[in-house]
Structures are given as C-alpha cells and as structure tokens.
Amino acid sequence: MGFRRHLIFFLSCLLIFALFANYVSFAYGKSNGTQHVAITPINHDLYHTSGALLEEIESLVHRHPDKLSIEKISSKNKGYEAQMTVVTYCRNRKESDDRGKLRILLTFGQHARELITTELALRLLSILSEEEFLPNVDRSTLNRTLDRLVIKVVPVENLNGRTLVEDGDLCERRNGRGVDLNRNWSVDWGKKEKDYDPYEEHPGTAPFSEPETQIMRKLSLSFEPHIWVNVHSGMEALFMPYDHKNTTPDGIPSQMMKSILEELNHIHFKDHCLIGSGGGSVGYLAHGTATDYMYDVARVPMAFTFEIYGDLKASSKDCFKMFNPVDITSFNRVLNDWSAAFLQMFSIGVQQMDGLQSKAIASSFDNWVSIDDYLNGYLMQRKSRYGKKMEVLDLGMQEIRTYFRLFLLSSVLLLFMFCSRISKSTRPIVSAMSI
C-alpha cells in the first residue's frame, strides 16, 4: 500500500508539473508573440509540383515548335548532380541569324521556397506562345516587339531544392546540398556579414562550386544577354546592381536601368515597389550574387533582380505564406501584373535599342551589338562567346609590341657593349673568336 501511495503521489506531482509547464509556456509564448504558429501548406489548387510544371512547359513547347525550343542541361560536382530546363523563345525560329536581336535571359526559382516565381515563368511562356492573353495588351503591337527579341527562360533553376520544399521543408531556399545559389557567384564571394546565417546564406566551398551555378554561368557566357532578370519573392521590389555594396554603378548603364525600373514601377505597381541597388534597399548586403556577376563580369548591360511578392505580416516560420500568395485573387494579380511588367520591359528594351542604334555610326544592327559595351562604357566589339573584348586584345597586342621593341633595343645595346669590349681586347683573342 505504501508503494502505491508513493507512486500515486509521484504521478500526481508529474501531472501538476506538466500542467504548470504548459501554462507557463502558453503565457510566455503569448506575451512574446511566439504562440503556436499555424503553418500554411502548399496550396495545390494553385501551385504545380515542379514535375507537373515542367511537364506542362514541355507540352507547351511541343505545341509551338515555331516559337519555342527546349533543352535540358546537366552538371555534376563531387557526386552531386543538377539538371536544368532551358526554354528559348524566338517568334520566328526560321530566321537564321538571331544575333541581330535583343537577347534576354530570365531565371526563376533560384530559391526553392519561392514557388510563385516558377508559376510566373509558366504564365509568361503561355503568353508568349499566345495560349494566354493579358487584358489591355494590343497583340499586334506586342508581336512587333517580340519579333525583335530572343528570350531564354529557366523556369526552375533550383530543382533539387524545390523537391525538398515539396517534401515538407517549406522554409528551404538552398539547393540539394545546402548551398544558397545566390551566394555562390564570384563577385565578392564568401564575405560574411555580422548577421550571417548559414542556413540562409551558405555560399558553398568556392565560387561556382555548385552545378546549378555552373550551368547558369555557361548559359550566360554563351548567350551573351543584353538584359538579365533574376526573379525572386519575399518582398515587392525592382533592384539593380549592386548587392554587395549599397551603391549603384556610375554612368549610362545605371541611368538606363534606373529609368526602366521607375517606368515599370509607375505604370504597373503605382510606385509601390522599392527601387535601387539591392544592397542599399533591402537593409543588408549580399555577397556572391548572380546579378552582380552578370553586371560586373559577364558584362550584361542591364542586370536586374525582381522581387514579385511578399507577405510582410506573415510569421517568419510560415514560409509558404511569407513568399507565396495563398488565395486565387492574389495569385492571379501577381502573375498578371508581373507578366505585364515583363512585356513592358521588352518594349522598353527595344526602344532603348533603337535609340542607341540611331547614335551608332553604322545603321546595321550588327554594329549595335558593340553597344553592349557602349552601355558598359567601352566602345569595343565582343571577341568571343566568353565575352573577351577586341579592345582588350588590342591593348594586349600593344603591350606585346612594346615589350618586343624594348627587347630589340636591349639586344642592340647589349650587342654594342659586347662589340665595344671586343674592340678593346687583345688581338689574339680577336683572332681566336674569328675562327
């Protein structure tokens, strides 16, 4: 009986302690705003799985072979493999020369949890292929613009990370082995701010250590886009370089980029979006980003980061709701507004092209290709698919010629000095050398 009484007393104490702990936890959580947070699941009535989305895009391409083509690119590093789907839009694919057109590279889904960005990729491709239409858009005018473009679209850049999100890790933004793909580029790579969070910003073991980043680098260097846009969610903003410092570039490129963003913001977003450099507007600096690489190294004249949606009232633990609209009205508003903004950007890009072309000495558009470099402050032609410049080559050749002249001059001087010494030498030595 004594044992039973002790056991009952012990269990009663445990029960009282548990109730008290629960009460304290509830009270503390309530007072600190950390009471249990309802986690919003993926709304599969609105959002495709990555597999279904890519299948739908493939079907779209197969239905419109006159406008769309598709390729799958794979890369592997230390046992980790990534595959990327790239869709190319050219309204008249029968044309043999696309180099005379404005080239645009768009990437979506670089951060795995930002599902709305990949839905925008699908919507935009549907509009380009004329299976979907936006209100108040004159199709004949749009088609005249599209005739001047070649667009490459990466619908899901981070497919492996996206798979983790679909498996339930709704806050995951990194790739399949825990690297933030937007910190894995070479410009200012690896620098860590005081608030660095490895879960959010792990840059990898080295620049371009990740197959996804390797694929995107090769794509950018081979395609040589005039316009680059990296599409994200988390807020509503239109960013230009730089991300790793709180300033924008100097000169003509900066002015043109800012002008484009201000026009898009005013027409489509009622001046609601943040505009400026990513580093100066977000509130923190980001190192090793894709946009800074595209502008500084790949020499893309106009490099942007678009942030298309963000619920700033959502809990930081409720990642799906924070980064993606959860109701159909918001979902369609985001896709329609940003699709319209992209079409407007295409039109502005062609207008800028025509304005620069009129300033060029020659009238052929081939000469405008060198205006890639004019926009960057360099009046020179591209030398190769890897962005080497003729001016750089010329400067190198000038240096070689200079060094060669110095070498010849030095040789002559040395020969003169040698001959002078010979003339002062004794005759036997001279006779010996002449044999």
Q: Three-state SS for 128?
A: helix
Token pair in block for residue 280: 């100066």
Residue type, 307: E
Reference 341, options 426, 273, 403, 281; nearest CA is 273
Q: Is 212 a catalytic residue?
A: no
CA distance 368 to 356: 7
Reference 360, options 347, 372, 371; nearest CA is 371
Reference 339, options 33, 25, 129; nearest CA is 129
Q: Which one from 55, 81, 307, 391 is the annotated catalytic residue?
A: 307
| Residues 6 or more apart whose Cβ sits within 8 Å of residue 18 | none
Reference 298, options 307, 290, 306; nearest CA is 290
Structural Rg of the chain based on CA atoms: 30
Number of residues that this document lists for the chain? 435
Bridge partners of residue 82, in order along the sequence: 75
Question: 304 near 257, Cβ under 8 Å?
Answer: yes
φ, ψ dihedrals at 174, nearest 5°: -85, 180
| Residues 6 or more apart whose Cβ sits within 8 Å of residue 334 | 116, 120, 308, 309, 325
Q: Which residues are catalytic?
A: 307
